[in-house]
Amino acid sequence: MTVLLQVSDTHFGTERPVAMAALQQLCAELSPDLLLVTGDITQRARRREFERARAFFDTLAVPARLIVPGNHDIPLFDLATRLLHPYSGFERVFGAALEGEFERDDLLVITLNTTRRWRHSNGEVSRAQVARVAERLARARPAQLKLVAVHQPVAAVTHEDVANLLRGRHHALKRWAAAGVDAVVGGHIHLPYVLPLRERWPELPREVWAVQAGTAVSSRLRGGISNSVNVIRGVPAATVERWDLDEAQARFQLVQATALR
């Protein structure tokens, strides 16, 4: 069974050593097959922040990685770079691929770049991206747990986060649900939760879950929740485990497990 470790919103430049050490320990104990980083790797898209992030991810020694940029990974104040080469810092350290795919017999993960240079924090999924992902999902194996990973959330649990929702999500969810997606995985708002989306949109042809991760190692904590990561297991388990940092023990502890199907 494939084990995926979702790390989000690390915001290097605001990282906490205690959370970093605890995440290294968790990784050594779980031996995940895939590291999925769902954006906001850095605080201000500075070269040294990207380099520190890459060095830390290297210490986790996970065999495979999928890393997507977040809105914080595009320069905010360097307008020329933002307009002409918005992903230059990311690409210098992590390579030119802003989207990717990971596949095993029990798991398929498709990542999308939902940041836009003309938006400060809001994300967007284009019609072309929606169609491309739907076509790939339609070719997936029936037994696979099928995930699409983005940065911004597709569903909110607080009124203030409605403004942070991914643009184009309704069209995307209908197309992807029809094509067989099981969950849309994201970050951005530093709140971990798992939601069944058919309760909100009964018109979806099948159940789809919104899986959100908290901030893995940053001091930018929210909602009284400590640093948090997700562990997702492929079929037959098909579960999302939420692991929060126990400050007293200086280690991540399992606090919730949700079966996706």
Model confidence at 82, pLDDT cuts 50, 70, 90, reads: low
Q: How far apart are CA 259 and CA 199, in angstroms?
A: 16
User: pLDDT tens digits, residue range 175-207?
Assistant: 999 999 999 999 999 999 999 999 999 999 999
Q: What is the arithmetic mean of pLDDT over 142-159?
A: 97
Predicted confidence band of residue 160 (pLDDT cuts 50, 70, 90): very high
Q: What is the pLDDT of residue 234?
A: 95
Kindly report the CATH class assigned to 3-259.
alpha beta
User: Whole-structure pTM over 0.85, yes or no?
Assistant: yes
Query: Mean pLDDT, the chain, as a whole number?
Result: 95
What are the φ/ψ torsions at residue 26 (nearest 5 degrees)? Answer: -60, -40
Residue with tokens 């993960």: 109
pLDDT given for residue 83 in this prediction: 66
pLDDT (0 to 100) of residue 25: 98
Q: What is the pLDDT averaged over residues 211-222?
A: 98
pLDDT for res 80 = 63
Q: What is the mean pLDDT of residues 164-172?
A: 97
Give the lowest-confidence range in 90-99, 102-111, 112-121, 220-229.
Answer: 112-121
Where does the pLDDT of residue 122 fall: very low under 50, low under 70, confident under 90, or very high at 90 and above? confident
The yes-or-no verdict on residue 81 having pLDDT over 70 is no
pLDDT at 261 over 70: yes
pLDDT at 78 over 70: no
All structural domains of the chain with their residue ranges: 3-259
